[in-house]
Amino acid sequence: MTDRDSCERRVYRLAVLLTGDPRAAVRVIEQVVGVQPDLRRLDTAHLDRLAVLRSREIRPATLPAPAGGGGAAGERVVGALASLNAQQREAWIFSHVYRMQPREIAKAMDCSVRAVQVHLTGADGVMNEALKDGVRQAGEALLAYSMNLRVPAFYRAYAARRRLWRGVRRVLPWAVLLAALGAGWIIVTRMGLLDRWIGPGG
């Protein structure tokens, strides 16, 4: 993925589902996208894997009810998700929310396909028990919820300022050097030192 905005949106949406905390998801964006000098080197699987690894470092909070509500059904969804361990939650979200295949999930979770199947089996047992026949609807509701998430404006402003400052820091040493050379040249010419060095016949 080469578009920074698209990368930020994907990481933010995934991190919100994995951590349950929009503020923590902003930190994940910074740790995943903000430190990348060249996004052209990141494919989707690599981006997801980095988001997963950073999200694991954050203690999961309680997700808001999917699609902004859902009543008791929404509470059952988030309660069931909260009861899963990190790997089970990741496998379930990738499989039932983003509809990814086991091989794709394995790349995102940095594990084997067999491990994905084990995590998914455990997660399905918990989610099926909690949601009965509402698993598919829960996945669709969470997808709709995540797709409506927007990266906070304050982060975009902060990221833009940070990129600007990085650019300034790259050119600042050269600007200082050129300014010093220019000042030195002015001093030399005004004091007539150049004529003295070159001499009358120069």
Digit-by-digit pLDDT tens for the chain (202 residues) are 558 888 888 999 999 999 888 888 888 988 888 777 777 777 888 899 999 999 988 876 666 555 444 455 567 788 888 889 999 999 999 999 999 999 999 999 999 999 999 999 999 999 999 888 888 888 988 898 889 888 887 665 655 555 554 555 566 676 666 777 777 667 656 666 555 555 555 4
DSSP 5-56: HHHHHHHHHHHHHHHS-HHHHHHHHHHHTTT-S-GGG--HHHHHHHHHHHHH
d(CA 110, CA 159): 28
Supply the pTM of this predicted model.
Answer: 0.71
Supply the pLDDT for residue 68.
45
Cα radius of gyration (the chain)? 26
CB-CB contact of 1 with 47 (8 Å): yes
pLDDT given for residue 119 in this prediction: 97
pLDDT at 2: 59
125-to-13, 14, 93, 145, 184 alpha-carbon distances in Å? 25, 22, 14, 23, 76
Tokens of 170: 């790259």
CB 15 within 8 A of CB 54: yes
- The pLDDT score that the predictor gives to residue 72 is 54
- HSE toward the beta carbon, residue 1, CA cutoff 13 A: 17
The pLDDT assigned to 20 comes to: 84
